[in-house]
Structure 1
Amino acid sequence: MSEPLIHNETLGRLIRSGGWAELAEGTPRLVARALDAGDMKTARALADFLRQEMEVVFNIYSMWFPDTLKCLRDKGMPEAEVTAAHDAIRQTLSRWHRNVLRPRDEVWAEVEAAIAAVTAEATADRRAAVDAAVDLWRDLHDSEVDQLAGLFDLVITRHGEPALREMYEGWVIGSWFAKRYQRFDVSKIDWAEASWLLTYLGFEGMHGHLSGTARDGTLDYSEDDEKVTISFAPCGSGGRSMAGEPRDGLPPLRDPAIGWPELREAHDFTWNETGICAYCAHCCILHENLPIAAFGYPVRVTHPPKAPLTGESRCSWTVYKDVRAIPEEAYTRVGAVKPPAEAPLGSAGREERDRILEARRG
């Protein structure tokens, strides 16, 4: 059996091995397969990697909560009202999320303990332990996404839909883009390597979100000469909040029992579509709006679900193998213009690129 984890020099850490077909499988399935084969060394390594996939998402939300709450305070909402509003959101969600009223760090510690139990000597039913760990993380993850949805709805209710973009860029993900997305800047990295990383990290991120119908991180993908596309119905975050979660009896967040609808207006940060959920809008900003402005191209071309959902609704992320081959439509749908062939791409070429685009507009 080949090693399930290999070291990646660019990321400076272990990643899952295999091609896209192997990466399309959620990590819990690999843990279960290793257990069935009696390969405890592999099961232990994969279980710990599963914990890391989850922890990445947990740590992201550890930033998003204080940043979103700070946005509300900075925009004039008194501290006591912010706290009361967040408490009310948690109370609303407590009908469906069993741990939402508990300290999140306490629940995360239980998730880590549940994953450790998968390969502990005293565990009698290891497969059941995998399922229990995944379900505990799913409840914590989904409750965090839904709390954020309630806070985002509060921003919109108080300040209007355009304030959502201000919140994301000014408080929630602007600094994340500035720090983490430089590795996709062709002024600093070859696009062949950057596009591979974008695709790999797409798989890994969706594993952590427990995306896909089975909610174990198993996705669909397709590849041709031009591009690689990963897709999921739903993702574990925005798409799931739009659809609801039958496992918990949770209705869509637009349901009157909750009352946090999708956006009613079309914006450049919602692909100029209506019916986009507030959470999903961050993918437009992070994958398309910000990188087009900074680098001259979208790093991923996202096709989100939109309300009203149908049986065909799903989300897809596409990474093009040739950055110059990204179609014009990927730019126009977010209110941008594709740079002409003579315009340099990457952050180092931004000034010259903007000059060329301005001259063409003039």
Structure 2
Amino acid sequence: MTVGQDSPVVAHSTFLGRPARIGSWDELSQGTFRAAKARIEAGDHRAAADLLEVSLEEADELRDVYERWPAEVARWLTGRGVDPAELEREQDRLRSVIGDVAMTGIQAEWPEYRDAALDAARRCRDGDSRAIELVDEVHAIWLGIHDRAVDRVAGHIDIAVRLCGEDILGELWDFLMADWYDAHERRFSPENQPWQVSANQLMVAIVDGFHAHLVGRDRQGDLEMIEEPDRIGFRFAPCGSGGRMLDAEVTGGEPRSAAPYGFATTTRRHDWAWNEVGICSYCVHCCQLNVVMPIDRIGFPTRVIDPPIWTGHPGAATACTWWVYRDPSLVPDSVYHRVGRTPGNRGGKA
């Protein structure tokens, strides 16, 4: 991909309400840290600095929910009558496999990433000869923080399954994402804005969010974009969050669904997990937010997902593909049936 020196890479996004990357979809499919290094190599240190700063913006939503969700899972469990002592024992077990730093939470580690990114951005603007190394250092810091935070969240979801059974997963994610559901419905309902606007915003949100998840085999945040006549796809091979549950290559041979972690995957078919066996309990939230909830509230899925499935074999590579249809009427009936819904019937359950 050719990099245009001195062309802007960041601008304010009215949709996101903050600075965000701009450019062609080809440019946006490249991870933010990789894009920063490409700009340095092209002699555009100012753009590289802008990209380092916007990496903080991309990661901030994860900082928020990854800090909140474990405590909210614990509160939800005790509200259902789980013995606090039993919950504490499970959290101690989780600590023994993911470590003390991960259990402390993302907020405690955030200042290290923030300060490193801002310092590297300043030094890039000053033309520091170590600029590329600085980008790599910031990337490594965020990668560690992100992955530890994912382990903490997914580990708490696993605790819920261990204590209450997998049947509670749909209800638990409904609780954790209630605010997201309301915002999603308000924005993307066809009563509030044209689908062409919604589709573009949904695609922007995909690339913005998955840059921060550091998707891809080398964890740079690179996405594969797929254009088809009726839809546009974004493939993460693997995803940097749910993919860690299933993919051996990006976890040092220890996908979190395998020993010693043993994080839960579905053992039965459920509407909220695409009626597939082997969906990791963390990935359930993608089905609920993008498929089940939008069908129930606005009549169609906003993003259709082909998820990875745990086969019990840690060596398997994984990929996840998200599709945005050019028009909701083009979504196949099979997408609705896969989650136990009936197409064309707002909120209609089969």
Alignment correspondent of 2:144: 139
1:15 is displaced (CA, Å) by 2.5
The one-letter code of the counterpart of 1:283 is C
Alignment correspondent of 1:239: 243
Alignment correspondent of 2:283: 280
CA distance in 2, matches of 1:18, 1:103: 34
1:101 is displaced (CA, Å) by 4.9
What is the TM-score with the length of structure 2 in the denominator? 0.90
Moved more, 102-111 or 217-226: 102-111
> Does the CA-based 8 Å contact 2:195-2:327 persist in structure 1?
yes
1:337 is displaced (CA, Å) by 0.4
Alignment correspondent of 2:194: 190
Alignment of 1:305-316 (within 5 A): 305-308=308-311, 313-316=318-321
Provide the secondary structure at the position in 2 that maps to 1:100. Answer: helix
CA distance in 2, matches of 1:224, 1:258: 38
CA distance in 2, matches of 1:78, 1:335: 34
Alignment correspondent of 2:112: 110
Q: Deviations over 1:264-315 (max 9, x none)?
A: 1111011011011001111110111111000000000001000216756311
> Does the CA-based 8 Å contact 1:35-1:43 persist in structure 2?
yes
The one-letter code of the counterpart of 2:234 is I
Alignment of 1:222-261 (within 5 A): 222-244=226-248, 246=250, 249=252, 251-261=254-264
Q: Say which of 303, 307, 311 aligns to 1:304.
A: 307
Alignment of 1:35-184 (within 5 A): 35-94=40-99, 99-102=101-104, 104-121=106-123, 125-169=130-174, 171-184=175-188
Alignment correspondent of 1:349: none
Alignment correspondent of 2:269: 266
Aligned length in residues: 340
What is the TM-score with the length of structure 1 in the denominator? 0.87
> Does the CA-based 8 Å contact 1:24-1:218 persist in structure 2?
yes
Alignment correspondent of 1:289: 292
> Does the CA-based 8 Å contact 1:91-1:101 persist in structure 2?
no
The alignment's C-alpha RMSD in Å is: 2.2
1:329 aligns with 2:334: yes
Q: Deviations over 1:104-148 (max 9, x none)?
A: 323110011111232334965221221121111111111121122
> Does the CA-based 8 Å contact 2:248-2:316 persist in structure 1?
no
The one-letter code of the counterpart of 2:214 is L
What's the % identity of the aligned pairs?
31
Distance change >3 Å, CA 5–CA 187, structure 1 → 2: same
CA distance in 2, matches of 1:328, 1:315: 21
CA distance in 1, matches of 2:256, 2:11: 40
CA distance in 1, matches of 2:253, 2:116: 24
Provide the secondary structure at the position in 2 that maps to 1:131. Answer: helix
CA distance in 2, matches of 1:9, 1:117: 27
**Unpaired stretches in structure 2, ≥5 consecutive residues:** 1-5
